[in-house]
Amino acid sequence: MYIGCKVPYVVLALPSWLQQLKDDFTLNFIDDKRYMYLVKGLGATLEITFFAVLLGIALGVVAAIIRSSHDKTINDMRPGFGKVLLKVLNAIVKVYLTIIRGTPVVVQLMITYYIIFASSTNQIMIAVLAFGFNSGAYVAEIIRSGIMSIDNGQFEAGRSLGFNYVQTMTYIIIPQAFKNVLPALANEFIVLIKETSISGYVGIQDLTRGGDVIRSRTYSAFMPLLAVAAIYLLIVVFFSKLVSILERRLRNSER
C-alpha cells in the first residue's frame, strides 16, 4: 500500500484513550455550549478581583497611613482635636484589622451576603465589598511595613521643605513605600484572585462554580475541574510576569 492511504486511517481511528478525551471534551464544553459557564464564570472572577483589588488598595493605604501616623507622631502631638481624632481612627483601624484577620474570609463573605446586604440582589457588588475589605486589611499591614521601612530622613527632608504631614506622605513616603512592597502586594493579589473561588458559597457564578456546574450536569469531573485549574494558573502566571516587568522598570528608574 501507499503512504497516502495511511493518513485517513490514523485520523479516523484515534487510539481509544484519545477518543475518550475527545468525547469528554465535547460533552463538557461543546454540547449545550457548556464552555459558556467557564467564560461567564471567568468574567465574574475577574470583575470581582479587579474591583476588590482597587477597594483593597484604597482601604489599605488609608488604614496604613492612619496606623503609621499614629505610631510615629502621637507622642509628639500637642493635645487637641487632632490628637483625639487620630487616636479614635487608629482604634477603629485596629478593630478592623483584628476582625478581618481573625476570621475566615468565607465566613466574612457569608456575613456580608446573608446579614449585611440581605436585601440586596447585586451579588457581584457584595463579593467586591467582602473581598475588598478583606484584602484591605492585609494590604494595610504590607503598606505599613513599607512606610516604616523608609528612612526618617526622607520624612524630615519633606517637612523641612514646608510640606505638611499628608503632603510628605503623598509625594515622598508612599511612592517609595509602595515600590518597596510591590512584590508583597502582588502576592496578596494573587492570593485574592484564588480566594474569590469561594464566591460560589453565596451563589455567585464565578469560574470555580462554572466548572462545578458543568461537572454536575455531565457527571464528569476531570475535564471541567482541570480546565478551571488551568485558567487560574494562566492568570496567576501572567500577572506575576506583569509584576516582575513593572518591578524591573521601577528599579531602572533609580539607576
Partner 1 sequence: MSDNEVLISVKDLCKHYNMGAIKALDGITTDIKKGEVVVIIGPSGSGKSTFLRSLNLLERPTAGSITFEGVDITSPKTDINKLRMKMGMVFQHFNLFPHLSIIDNMTLAPVKLLKMSKEDARNKAQQLLDKVALGDRGNAFPSQLSGGQKQRIAIVRALCMSPDVLLFDEPTSALDPEMVGEVLDVMKDLANDGMTMVVVTHEMGFAREVGSRVIFMDEGRIIEEGTPDEIFTNPTNGRLKSFLAKVL
Interacting residues with partner 1 (CB under 8 A): 76, 78, 151, 153-154, 156-157, 159-164, 167, 171-172, 175-176, 179, 253-255
In the complex with partner 1, which residue's Cβ is closer, 82 or 104?
82
Distances (CA, A) of 93 to 70, 98, 189, 192: 11, 9, 21, 21
In the complex with partner 1, which residue's Cβ is closer, 31 or 151?
151
Min dist. Cβ of residue 184 to partner 1 (A): 18
Min dist. Cβ of residue 238 to partner 1 (A): 27
Min dist. Cβ of residue 65 to partner 1 (A): 18
Min dist. Cβ of residue 48 to partner 1 (A): 32
Spatial contact of 190 and 135, defined as CB atoms under 8 Å apart: no
In the complex with partner 1, which residue's Cβ is closer, 125 or 157?
157
Helices (H), 74-172: 81-102, 105-111, 123-149, 152-161, 165-168
Min dist. Cβ of residue 58 to partner 1 (A): 21
Min dist. Cβ of residue 183 to partner 1 (A): 17
Angle between helices 35-73 and 207-218 (to 10 degrees): 150
In the complex with partner 1, which residue's Cβ is closer, 172 or 193?
172
Nearest to 213 by CA among 229, 228, 191, 230: 228
The residues, any chain, with a CB within 8 Å of residue 7's CB and separated by 6 or more, are: none
C-alpha–C-alpha distance, residues 154 and 68, integer Å? 15
In the complex with partner 1, which residue's Cβ is closer, 25 or 163?
163
* Grid cell at residue 76: 509628639
In the complex with partner 1, which residue's Cβ is closer, 23 or 156?
156
User: CA 3 from chain center: how many Å?
Assistant: 55
C-alpha–C-alpha distance, residues 221 and 81, integer Å? 61
